[in-house]
Amino acid sequence: MADVAANPQHALRAQFDVAVQRYIERLRSDPEWARKGEEIRTWLQTDTTVGGYVQALWLDLRGALRRDLADADSVVARQVGKLGLWLGESLAGDAALRQSFNDRLERWAQGLAPDVSAFIAQHIEDTVRRWDTEAMTQLIELNIGKDLQYIRINGTVVGGLIGLVLFAVSHVGEIWRAVVGS
């Protein structure tokens, strides 16, 4: 297994890849294999023994990951660093890879954008709903109270002038008769 792990061109890797591809193709094209695959999936999802094992496995994995990340000499942190360095070097040296990476990121962002925007809108709505009306009113008055006062005064003056104009237009005949004296 060490030879297989060390050699990306190892014959067993190629045989394994071929076997997996055949398996995937049979799952896609053979109704009996698809049915059996669904049976296995349902069993994996509903069996209490498997569920308990997976839960214990997850808790153990999470604990090991937390312990490793808390360690100053974390293996996971080193590997993530190596991955970042490899990715950066690979992208820096290959224009086609950069373009492909950019295209995939763009498609990913376009696919994710509706969900993210819905989440953000819901978050804002929930946050505003939790605001205390009295405290929010005081905060608005404190920060923009002078501007609101100018808006109120201007609104009153403009509204009054518009009211006078409308009154004058609707009563132009009566006003004319009162001024001329007929």
Q: Report pLDDT digits (tens) over 38-66.
A: 999 999 999 999 999 999 999 999 999 99
**pLDDT tens-digit series, residues 87-111:** 999 999 999 999 999 999 999 999 9
Q: Does residue 74 sit in the same domain as residue 100?
A: no
Q: Is the Cα dihedral 97, 98, 100, 104 positive or negative?
A: positive
Cβ-proximal residues to 13 (8 Å cutoff; 6+ apart), any chain = 4, 7
- Judge if pTM exceeds 0.85: no
Distance CA 30, CA 34 (A): 6
117 backbone dihedrals φ, ψ, rounded to 5°: -65, -40
How confident is the model at residue 140, as a pLDDT?
83
How confident is the model at residue 8, as a pLDDT?
85
Q: Does residue 114 sit in the same domain as residue 75?
A: no
Q: Does residue 116 sit in the same domain as residue 141?
A: no
Q: Does residue 147 sit in the same domain as residue 107?
A: no
Amino acid identity for residue 31 in this structure: P
Distance CA 68, CA 63 (A): 9
Total domains in the chain come to: 3
CB environment 119-157: b (16+ within 10 A), e (fewer): eeeeeeeeeeeeeeeeeeeeeeeeeeeeeeeeeeeeeee
How confident is the model at residue 182, as a pLDDT?
62
Q: Does residue 120 sit in the same domain as residue 85?
A: no
Q: Which domain holds residue 146?
A: 133-180
Amino acid identity for residue 24 in this structure: I
